[in-house]
Amino acid sequence: MRKVSVAAATVAIFALLLGAVRGTVYGQDVAKVSPKSVKVLLENDRVRVVEVTLQPGDSLLPHTHPDNFAYILGAGKLRVNYIGKESMDFEGKGGEVFWSDAEPLHTTVNSGGQVAHWIEVELKEPRAKKAPAPKGAKK
């Protein structure tokens, strides 16, 4: 019988689990994977508006976003854990507005001691491409 080190077995199991998670949740809708914390307020063919209320210590399950902006209703501290990448800490105050380019698969944890509360507007239309310069125009 061939011996396998504990470290090698752990890495192999983690890789299999990560592959399974990525295969089942990539591109998941945050409102569907975390309905306790996320409420869809408006959705049409151009935007989706969600309200997020995250209690201290609670998490949003793995999800992605298109380009979006958020309006912070209640101050909070968040940790965004990008799958396979570094984590990012974020602190927002009521009344602030933040832009975010499309985000890859991640979880979000309320790492602060108070309820985090925000409205997020996800843009469904692709970003406009820069128009080419007219013929004869100087660069």
Q: Structural domain tally of the chain?
A: 1
Where residue 131 falls among pLDDT bands split at 50, 70, 90?
low
Q: Is 25 exposed, middle or buried (0-12, 13-18, 19+ CB in 10 A)?
A: middle
User: For 44-94, how does the pLDDT look when each residue is reduced to its tens digit (9 = 90+)?
Assistant: 999 999 999 999 999 999 999 999 999 999 999 999 999 989 999 999 999
Question: What CATH number is associated with residue 45?
Answer: 2.60.120.10
Any domain includes 133? no
Rounded distance, CA 90 to CA 78, Å?
A: 5
Any domain includes 75? yes
- What domain range is 107 assigned to? 28-123
User: For 98-123, how does the pLDDT look when each residue is reduced to its tens digit (9 = 90+)?
Assistant: 999 999 999 999 999 999 999 999 99
Percent with pLDDT over 90 in the chain: 68
Sign of the alpha-carbon dihedral angle for 49, 30, 103, 66: negative
The pTM assigned to this predicted structure is 0.72
